[in-house]
Structure 1
């Protein structure tokens, strides 16, 4: 499934890396595309949306 989320405090490429690692800790095969300018994160994953959001929040980011 493809998820489209907005991560409010996604500010730079380091943030993208941190969010990507957090998502891939839940689903190692997840494909993540993130744009710090628009705060958009697109994830192709088999993991439940709630688990993905929890991983992002656990990494210190806010899912809008």
Structure 2
């Protein structure tokens, strides 16, 4: 699943988001494309789970 996260504006923000996701879903494969502000996640968890984690980490979804 892929999410567009327009608030990702630094490598620190992307690392924080990745840590938040992996804390909740340690088996997820997370790839963050900072230039395009895209987060790609491979996991058995639902998209809604990751939407909530992205928002909880202080980011916004588009």
- With normalisation by structure 1, the TM-score equals 0.88
Q: CA RMSD in A?
A: 0.9
- With normalisation by structure 2, the TM-score equals 0.91
**Which sections of structure 2, spanning at least 5 residues, go unmatched?**
none
Q: Which segments of structure 1 move beyond 3 Å, counting only runs of 4 or more?
A: none
Describe the SS at the equivalent of 1:41. Answer: strand
Residue 22 of structure 1 and its aligned partner are, at CA, apart by 1.6
The answer as to whether partners of 1:26 and 1:47 remain within 8 angstroms in 2 is: no
User: What residue is the counterpart of 1:30 in the other structure?
Assistant: 28
Aligned length: 62
**Which sections of structure 1, spanning at least 5 residues, go unmatched?**
none
Residue 25 of structure 1 and its aligned partner are, at CA, apart by 2.4
